[in-house]
Homo-oligomer: A and B are copies of this chain.
Amino acid sequence: MRKTVQKQVILSTVLASCDHPDAETICERARAVIPSISLGTVYRNLAQLAADGKLKRISIPDSGDRFDKNVEEHAHFHCLGCGKVIDVNLNFEQMDSCKEFLTEKMGVTLTKITVVMQGYCSDCAKGE
């Protein structure tokens, strides 16, 4: 993996983000530093950085992927009103025992766990 200014800016952009931005948002933010950076380059580097474990890609149902500086295993809440994604800290004892069950009793190899809760945040109130 070659070190480029684009890659450095993309990574530092994600590391500086306190939300869970998507590729396009990251591209816009990176353009504050490198106005000519292309969306393709952003996607390419995000994929590479995620594969390298420097950041995390989060799949959200019916929505584009988000990116997270927190690479620890944790759940997310996705607001169907405003689209924001927030962390949900679960003490997954149950999850851990489930993982154990899958790996030991079923011979399954786990590589990734996705937990997304969806609904409406307090700002977006229930009724519209």
Contacts and interface: CB of A to CB of B under 8 A. Distances in A.
A115 B63 CA distance: 16
A71 interface: no
A50 to B, nearest CB: 12
A43 interface: no
For this complex, into which size category does the number of interface residues on chain A fall? Answer: 35 or more
Nearest to A80: B111
B122 A108 contact: yes
Nearest to A61: B59
A90 B98 contact: yes
Contacts of A61: 59, 112, 114
Interface in A88-128: 88, 90-95, 98-99, 102, 106-122, 126
A79 B75 CA distance: 20
Contacts of A88: 98, 102
